[in-house]
Amino acid sequence: QVQLVESGGGLVQAGGSLRLSCKVSGNSRGIRTWGWFLQAPGNERELVATVEKSGEVVYADSVKGRFSISRDNALDTVYLQMNNLKPEHTAVYYCYERTWIRQPSGDYWGQGTRVTVSS
């Protein structure tokens, strides 16, 4: 089983930057894909960015050119770098990993970290 713990959220003014971290522990069999989602108040959880099995990184249109994701395997940590933040980016951000065999075999989520962007 995989465990994910996010950190780095907080309050930031518009135009500022934050880097979210997600510590990954545990392991499972199969291929892994990973990325970040967000959930704004009153809305469903939605994609920020994912890394596909091919290695391709897919970003939501709303964050292209502003956010980037990365992974440090030595530290077992994934990151979401957020630049030029706007109030519309206020949300709880979740990291995740999906394990695959021939099809998805497990989804793992962190508890979320809250980002609030003030005007």
**Predicted confidence (pLDDT) per residue in 38-49, tens digit:** 999 899 999 999
Q: Which tens digits make up the pLDDT trace of 7-54? A: 999 999 999 999 999 999 987 677 889 999 999 989 999 999 999 989
pLDDT of residue 61: 93
Q: Which tens digits make up the pLDDT trace of 52-71? A: 989 899 999 989 999 999 99
Residues with Cβ within 8 Å of 68's Cβ and at least 6 positions away in sequence, in order, are 49, 80, 81
What are the backbone angles phi and psi of residue 31, rounded to the nearest 5°? -80, 145
pLDDT of residue 102: 85
What are the backbone angles phi and psi of residue 60, rounded to the nearest 5°? -65, 150
Express the helix, strand and coil content of the chain in percent, nearest 5 each.
5, 60, 40
Whether 77 and 90 have beta carbons less than 8 Å apart is answered as no
Report the SS3 class of residue 74: coil
Integer Cα distance of 14 and 28 in angstroms: 39
Residue 114 has pLDDT above 70, yes or no: yes
* C-alpha separations of 33 from 36, 52, 71, 84, 109 in Å: 11, 6, 11, 27, 12
pLDDT of residue 28: 66
pLDDT of residue 27: 73
pLDDT of residue 31: 83
